Each structure stands twice: as C-alpha cells, then as structure tokens.
Amino acid sequence: MALPTQEEWDKALAEMESLRAGFQKLLKQAHSVGGIQTPRMEGDNLAIILCSYFDDPEQPVDEETGWGADAIDGCNEVLAAIRKHFETN
C-alpha cells in the first residue's frame, strides 16, 4: 500500500477544513436561533416567545432576566433541542 502523495494530503486537508468551517457555521447559526424575529412577533424574538409560553406567574422572577425559573428552563430546553437537531442532522 503506497502512502498518499503530498497533493492527496493537501486535498484531504482542504476538504476537512471545509467541513469544519461548515460545521462551525452551522453551530453558530443554531446557537443564535433564540434571536430569530418575525414581524408578527412585534419586536419579540423566539426566546421571548418561548419564555412567555413556559412562564409561571406564581414563580419568583429573576432580576437579571425578568423571567421565572420555568420560563428560563423551558426556553433553554427548546433551544437546546433545536441546536441538537442541527448538530445531529
């Protein structure tokens, strides 16, 4: 079995770099999903919509985020599932 030529190594490395760059771009996009907005959201984004859905008005509100624990946990759970979907498909 012959060793690959320098040209073959260079081509394989270029392909690997292209795949790595594409994967990093995909991960960056997946991590920014919470910031998606549409005109119907009237200035809110997906993270706010998710927090609103999971919010429990009976829970204490975090001063930094303005949301209760269920809202934050629910939002994070859905966004993590979206990221996982893009990472595995």
- What is residue 68's predicted lDDT score, i.e. its pLDDT? 96
Per-residue b or e along 48-78, where b marks 16 or more CB atoms closer than 10 Å to that residue's CB: bbbbeebbeeeeeeeeeeebbeebbebbeeb
How many residues in the chain? 89
Q: Tell me the two tokens of residue 59.
A: 């829970």
pTM: 0.64
**37: Cβ contacts below 8 Å, ≥ 6 apart:** 43, 44, 45, 46
Lowest mean pLDDT among 5-14, 24-33, 53-62: 24-33
Query: Rounded to an integer, what distance in angstroms lies between the CA atom of residue 62 and that of residue 8?
Result: 56
Confidence tier at 33 by pLDDT (50, 70, 90): confident
